[in-house]
Amino acid sequence: MGHNSTSPLDGRTEVPPADSSSGVAVLDRAFAILGAFGPNDDRLTLTELSRRTDMYKSTVLRLLGALEHGGFIRKLDDGQYAIGPQPLRLAAIYQRSFRVGPVIEPLLEQLSRELGETASFYVRQGDRRLVLYRVEPARAVRVAIGVGDEFPIDRGASGKVLLAFSETSDERWHEVRERLWAVSYGERESETAAASVPVFSAMGQLVGALTLSGPKQRLAAAPTMFAAVTTLLKTARQATEILGGNGGRFDSSIAQLHMQQIITSGATGAHEAP
């Protein structure tokens, strides 16, 4: 039977829920603490963690002790808390579970080097798109994203590709499925443009979205975007073939884009990207 207690840390009366002692409830609270750290949070105070999780400081402190013991949380010299090394180990296992790293990473390096922009590989996680791999160019002005970053799936070129080939009955993405590529201009960040194409497995299923992103001032011009999409399609064909899939499905899209590129380059005053 539950009872009320006064927290020595915040002076409030703590009334634990009826199921607070269950393993599931404890895990939920521990995951909430880990989830309280955002992409830009290097460290958080106990007070901020309590605020973000809507839990008492005493509860957060107990869970932090357990998470620290397991390597999921680090307590810093200034008394604040940061993510520990354990999630990095699990992230490496997560990446390996896709079994595409040895194929995708060299191709991303090639793309970034050849086109001078950030090359990434996205996978779908529910209603989010997650950066599984990425390579950034050696230039001062670039799109900076990190492995493990998550973004809404309904914005951005990679989101369109992931939706098109994971929700194949949705007619909104029919054109993307037909041409095998998508572009975006300022959908997630106002000054960023991106192009994305799918990579398929040996069974023809979507593996992920191969994506190039950069500042609109460089990437959004029609000739540059045409070249980027064409290179992405050729790279996706190569990746699909290495994974045992049918690379020939990209040939028609590459040919059509090449013809469109010729037409656009021959037209004077054509400044809009595809």
Q: What is the pLDDT of residues 37-91, one digit of tens each?
A: 987 899 999 999 999 999 999 999 999 999 999 999 999 999 999 999 998 888 7
Pair 137, 173 in one domain: yes
Cα angle for residues 264, 162, 177 (degrees, 5° grid): 50
The CATH code of the domain that includes 167 is: 3.30.450.40
Please tell me the predicted confidence (pLDDT) of residue 104: 94
pLDDT on residue 63:
96
| CB contact set of 252 (below 8 Å; sequence gap of 6+) | none
Is 219 inside a domain boundary? Answer: yes
Q: Does residue 271 fall inside a structural domain?
A: no
Residues 102 and 167 in one domain: yes
- The pLDDT of residue 144 is 60
Beta strands 81-83 and 118-125, pairing class: unpaired
- For the entire predicted model, the pTM comes to 0.67
Collect the ranges in the chain with pLDDT lower than 50: 1-20, 268-273
Count of domains for the chain: 2
Ramachandran class of 71: left when φ > 0, alpha when ψ lies in -120 to 50, beta otherwise: left
Q: d(Cα 251, Cα 247) in Å, to the nearest integer? A: 8
Distance of CA 204 to the CA centre of its chain: 22
Q: Please indicate, yes or no, whether residues 129 and 65 belong to a single structural domain of this protein.
A: no
Which residue range forms the structural domain that includes residue 77?
5-87
98 φ/ψ angles, rounded to the nearest 5 degrees: -80, -20
Tell whether 273 is covered by a domain: no
Give Cα separations from 83 to 49, 72, 88, 218 (angstroms): 12, 6, 9, 36
Residues 81, 171 within the same domain = no
- Domain end among 67, 87, 107: 87
Shared-domain flag, residues 140 and 64? no
Amino acid 21: pLDDT:
53
Query: Does the residue 92 lie in any domain?
Result: no
249 in the same domain as 140: yes
In this structure, the answer to whether residues 134 and 217 fall within a common structural domain is: yes
Q: What is the pLDDT of residue 143?
A: 59
